[in-house]
A and B are shown apart, each in its own frame.
Chain A
């Protein structure tokens, strides 16, 4: 390093100074554009002869320092250092370099998406296929040849799949101030069919270091996944990588085995591995939700890795797996066992959709590092604070509600021979802090289309099991995803268990008393189904709108009575599809549906759904799940009336959240045209932006307010004035820099 340091103010200056500085034998002068850097307290960049050094204030009065350079046209992290308050600088890593790999395949439409379209008589034109394929769920682009029945244009061919490692031709770097962040980027990145830049971001007030490839492809129909890490850690100064296994036993490697040829995938609890170095630790983890595309299950596939590269060095990073795996099948009876074995295998072979990369979109492939002056245990605590220890934090006056789970509860208790059998998905839910689980039995289990005798018996088992396993702060609501008369897939919930056969044979009444069940319904048409919903105070909403079995929905029913009725709440929300060029989760499909519905009709909402199957305590459920915080002081017991829950949903009194961003309160204040959205927002990762979205009945507009000046672990009351003139409805959302977010429901103006 040169002894003479310069605070560079712009490209030209930096460049010219660099040329004139004396260079060491091995170090070339670094060209770095600092024209967009603004010096500020706790967030400094300094250009030396051959390196740019950023120094920033971290958590708990720690100071962090990272030095970046280019060596052989490859970006290098010359050092990562940390100094705790009153302490000395400790070097956590020296001369480590970014390594990113991608596996790319081809995106295809699923046959599942064509089923509802066919029913609707919609022709699958090339334009429709091109548009809808990006919403696919059942796709596994890396599975060659794959299950030919799942997708169009199969089997897959070997040459569709590419696996590439990053290569660089970096001629310089750029340092940019963005609110309370510094972004240090290196152009000249090639990553197989992608090209772009590599960026590091540091944030004042936290010890986070985000590393990401920002790259695009011009190729059509690309689906991909990535690994990202740092290479070249010295075993001598960082002798150990530790993590907790899926059951939270601490595990380690001390690199005592032979050299690895592949990354060793670690099925680590909380998706977290920690390098123990002299004087501190470096944690590595992927974005806590954004990184995870929708699947049928939440098995921990190993999202972090290490690799011993030679006797003296190793690499670490984040990864996506190569494929789905089989969930643990169950079944005391042979029949259930065989069914679940088959299902487990089918999920593993057909479903692993990866990320979308439409041509020209800037994909952000990120990994987080946390530089800590503490040991691995304290570092773990510091990192887990970003996800509230992988729990949905209790918010006073709210209940955490989730929906749409095909756990086949009635089948499980009947198979086990006891209602008191506690299935493994119950601790999986309760361990996350969930208070209300709206379940969806009878989707590939039981006899959903039975006219009565079997159906009612199965419903009784379902209801009794839910009654048995509900608790004071945990309510199992006996919902369903019936796929009956109303079109597409949808969730039904009632304020109490309701016996209902979806078929009514001629001569059978619509409603009658059947011992020992009491009142039972049988429906023969959409009218009767709606009538039942009305009589029982039930609610419905479209599950996975515009994809899977709801492809073409709710668009196709926007003029139907049930859509227009107050019974039809809206639609569901999940991370499907995943596109890392988007700032929001499910940006187009979900929010597109939400905003359109509100332009078409009265208030319609978006409820978070899981739409997943078997779960186990050792799964990584948190990262895959998005929840609803329903405004409700007191949770009804199972045998009480659940109307307060349904009323809160119907009133839009809930916000949806990945967990890291919370909106404990929000309101619209003011009158006439001069109004203001007032929203209390709380976050963990540095916030990215908040937005007000509105519609005029035809189009949707938005105002985005940057929040990059907000520090990590903050709370702020946003007041955003807007002109209500010509606006039909308005809603609020907040998104953080790791891709997590929360949003409130649309409020319509009278």
Chain B
């Protein structure tokens, strides 16, 4: 073995041995798995193709095997008696890179495992080890880099952002005939809107939806966006690099403090909200903060229930279904709010089954939707169940409150030649919300 390969092996084994020092769940998962096979029966990837290497318990065993042969009595005994290696052979790192980037981190396994073993945690550990060796797949590396440098995953400059915002305001003027504002960099505002950058630059109806909500509520000058921090996406979660994840997050906390806002108003991005709310806020990464974290869908749904808006449902006549992004549904508990919004904005809303916390992953979770190197895998294996689910509903529009899901779903539709449009939740609201008596003037577009 060359010295480079030896050092890879060393690093991996050391890292795995270190699991015995915690955190608790990771260690417990190493020791408690009864190999009952339930996780495989509920995993979207395994559903797509029943192969051993795609079995969640087997994937976790990549790490578990090494852990056991070093850290458990029975493991060490077996190794001494039978000889052989500790589970990590030369060249296995390539296997790790491939396989840990085939888990979508959807946490379905954790929901049904009798012991609550969360294979996404083990996957993330695997990816963290890969990242510490500098071997994270190029796409992911690039996205993290761009994000840390420019503050958004598009690498767009503040000037580009400003043009985009001006353009959106002109769009809304064209639709409604009046000025609807999208404030930028406004200090002293109350709400700081942080969407995924795709919702501004590529799929902007989600942002116009939010702008219209604020406008109708008379809060047109109480919110703001930031020309530097306009992308909640945080790929440090997907590469397993806690340092990157926190550094990316800090940019937003600092900006929020600078603007003096009271509410971090997260847009339609599952992992962004999860990191901001369930990790940053709930576990207090940065101590006491002068603001709270709220999701735009909670806010809007709340107001819909209070009757603050009027909708012209005929603007959305086609059958619409909702895909629960795993991060929103399973990890954050935001399930009813998007439905309230869609039911208010659309004529024909249909559910997929199962849904909410038991929904199937789109197949692009865990950052996989950004990786076109595994397109065939995503289209034919990890996204297979989702495709079936959507077809069953007969819907012509799938609303998904998550940029990564949207990308994956859009590619699924194209690949499988399905005539179904994909978009966000506030998009539907943007099309049907009534401002000064009428909804947006648009060409009749079914998508």
Q: Do A and B bind each other?
A: no
A residues whose Cβ falls under 8 Å from a Cβ of B: none
Please list the residues of chain B having a beta carbon within 8 angstroms of any beta carbon in chain A: none
